[in-house]
Structure 1
Amino acid sequence: MTTNARSKLPVPFVAGKAKYKYKIYIRPGVVMPDAKFERLARELRSCAKTCFDQLPPYQCLLGTRASLADKAIAVAWRRDGRIAGFCSCVLLDVDNVGTVLHLGLTCVRPDDRGSGLTHKLTSKVIIGYLARHRLVGKQWISNVACVLSSLGNVAMFFDEVFPSPLADTTVSTAHASIAKTIDERYRDEIYIRPDAQFDWTRFVFQGSVRDTVFQKDKDATAYHHRNRAINQYYTGIMSFDRGDEVLQVGSVSLLGTAPRYFLRKKQIRERSRRLLTQIDYATHANAVVQDG
């Protein structure tokens, strides 16, 4: 695990538009004094209640110190002192890999949607964590989702992502170690049903959110990505009716990922056009484990 004494200090407000102030919290369940911790936990739950009919017993919504001890959270505070939205990531310890940043739960109040908060919060928590723990080199990330827009954004904006229709990534030793650890050790933290089966060939948890608030309808276009090829690809490797989710494993670096994305934008467009006419879902049916 990468350690840094500065992780014990709340990150100062990040200047943004006047409507919000952004703040990053690293392991708040460990370092925050009681009064501030209780307020943060209360506000996180209050914001989430506007997104769920019933709060799932999951992640930072549990509101305990233990449940916020392994989190990196970006919060957008409104002028009235309430949370407009948050992105809560889970810090996973993986043997021989280190700390993996799991892209977890994002909630935005209905009256604060439409201003790009979801993307801003995700960006801020990742950059805030990297600035303190991984200034140089790559940080491994993971994502478990059935929301096509989420899967598509990870495929587009991160490096070494598997599975992805936009890259020829093979399953390295690190990919396999992260997947194995999530499957065996972190199901509760990521809200994966204990009876879900992990498909190693496609990196899909079969039935992981069946009959839960996180299960989505295949035809719910509000959750689709704007890139139709991406939607085609991910709907082809999982079953919405069964309640499947895709596990994505990739990496990000503070200095390299963004420049590489702009360099590969043309490649993404070209691949997308080809995928719309011929997608071979079998390309990920025989993932080869390689050292790396």
Structure 2
Amino acid sequence: MSKPAAMRLLDTSLGAGPGLRSRIVERPGLALAPAELAALVEDVRSVARSVLGDRELAYGVLSGDPETLSRTVLTVVYEKRTGRPVAFNALAILDAQLGGRPVEVLHLGLVMVRPDVRGSGLSATLYGLTCVLLFIRRQCRPVWISSVTQVPAVVGMVAETFSDVFPGKPAARRSFHHERLARQIMQRWRHAFGVGDSAGFDAERFVITDAYTGGSDELKKSFDQAAPHRDAAYNALCAAELDYGRGDDLLQIGQIDMAAAGRYLGKVAPADSVAGLLGGFALLMAQAALLPLVHWLDHTQPWGSLRAWKT
């Protein structure tokens, strides 16, 4: 598969905390030469081995499948001093439709952190920093995100980092858009997060039943094994909605928008990250002056009832 000549893909490094740097590569299956791609996949597998031991995952980026890697945004965190990979996030780009128009959904995907560096806030960095960069790359237009998990800590992190998340906070409500995207993801993309064809989906509660049957079997946890959230409401939500013996997951749908990006940059982004230092100022400028002009001039993108000229 060759990269289209007009496609500009993200491949950048940023600070990820004291002594750490992150490399973020958009669609590495298209962007990288075979040898460089193989080396990046091996870095990811080394982190997975530190977490899983002799167990193996048979899906996603760990398979090394070029087609999967061509619709993935891969974030790998390294120690600056040794170059050792210590964490990764594989964010999948899922195609869907809303209102007859194509939309991209950024699926937060698989996150793993070496046991000896856990507790340093890397999970929020892995999820949020990549999404903020892609949000800015997409002209700061709201971008839909999805997440599949049975871990209360992740459920709460998604609900508090992103906007309009369902299920999430106690006051969260399911919208028509939430339901349409959830059904499309379950119909077309369940293989992207290791859920087998036999798994069920409760569209009222956004619960995937018997989810660990499509390659993600080794990730199944009991409620006691799953990391709790500091807010007991998310622990209670998971305990009430999920059958951990059967292996259920919550499917969360939300958005990254200007408010979510501002929350992330203000509270979570590492101090040594370029995005953390400059993002707040850039977002304010975009919101106040540049963003309306950019949207108005780009006739290829929807902008409500406003339209730019077409010639």
TM-score where L is the length of structure 2: 0.76
Shift of 1:58: 1.4
- Select which of 256, 274, 285 maps to 2:259: 256
Shift of 1:33: 1.2
Instruction: Quickly say closer, same or farther: Cα 1:4–1:165, change in 2 above 3 A.
Output: farther
Question: Identical aligned pairs, as a percentage?
Answer: 31
**Shift of residue 261 of structure 1?**
8.4
1:23-44 deviation digits (Å, cap 9, x = unpaired): 1100001110122111101111
Which one of 160, 163, 172 corresponds to residue 164 of structure 2? 160
Work out the CA distance in 2 between the residues paired with 1:261 and 1:22. Answer: 17
Report the CA distance shift for 1:260/1:61 in structure 2 as closer, same or farther (over 3 A). Answer: closer
SS in 2 for 1:209: coil
2:108 corresponds to 1:107: no
Could you say which residue in structure 2 is the equivalent of 1:50?
A: 50
Structure 1: give runs of 5+ residues left out of the alignment. Answer: 263-292
Q: Which residue of 2 aligns with 1:193?
A: 196
Aligned to 1:271: none
SS of structure 1 residue aligned to 2:90? strand
- CA deviations 1:159-210 (Å, max 9, x no partner) are 11111233332322x2122111111111111111211110011010111126
Q: Which of the numbers 129, 132, 142 marks the counterpart of 1:127?
A: 132
2:25 maps to 25
SS at match of 2:219: coil
Task: Report if the CA contact (8 A) 1:45-1:63 is conserved.
Answer: no
Measured in 1, the distance between the counterparts of 2:32 and 2:264 equals 36
Pick from 204, 207, 217 the counterpart of residue 204 of structure 1: 207
**2: CA distance between counterparts of 1:57 and 1:4?**
32
Aligned to 2:236: 232
Deviation at 1:5?
A: 5.0
Displacement of 1:51: 1.1
Aligned-pair distance for 1:241? 1.1
2:234 is equivalent to residue 242 of structure 1: no
What is the identity, as a one-letter code, of the residue corresponding to 1:36?
E
Letter in 2 for 1:237: E
TM-score scaled to structure 1, two decimals? 0.81
CA displacement, residues 238-271 of structure 1 (integer Å, 9 cap, x when unaligned): 2111110010101111x22255789xxxxxxxxx
Q: Report the count of equivalent residues.
A: 256
- SS at structure 1 position matched to 2:223: coil
Alpha-carbon distance in 2 for matches of 1:100, 1:169:
19
Rate the CA distance shift 1:151–1:18 in 2: closer, same or farther, 3 A: closer
Task: Note the aligned Cα RMSD (angstroms).
Answer: 2.4
Query: CA separation of 1:258/1:57 partners in 2, compared to 1, >3 Å: closer, same or farther?
Result: same
How far apart in 2 are the matches of 1:15 and 1:217? 34
Residue 95 of structure 2 is aligned to residue 90 of structure 1:
no
Q: CA deviation at 1:95?
A: 2.0
Gap regions ≥5 residues in structure 2? 266-311
Q: In structure 1, what is the equivalent of residue 271 of structure 2?
A: none
**Runs (4+) of structure 1 moved beyond 4 Å?**
3-6, 258-262
Alpha carbons of 1:4 and 1:71: their partners in 2 closer, same or farther (altered >3 Å)?
Answer: farther
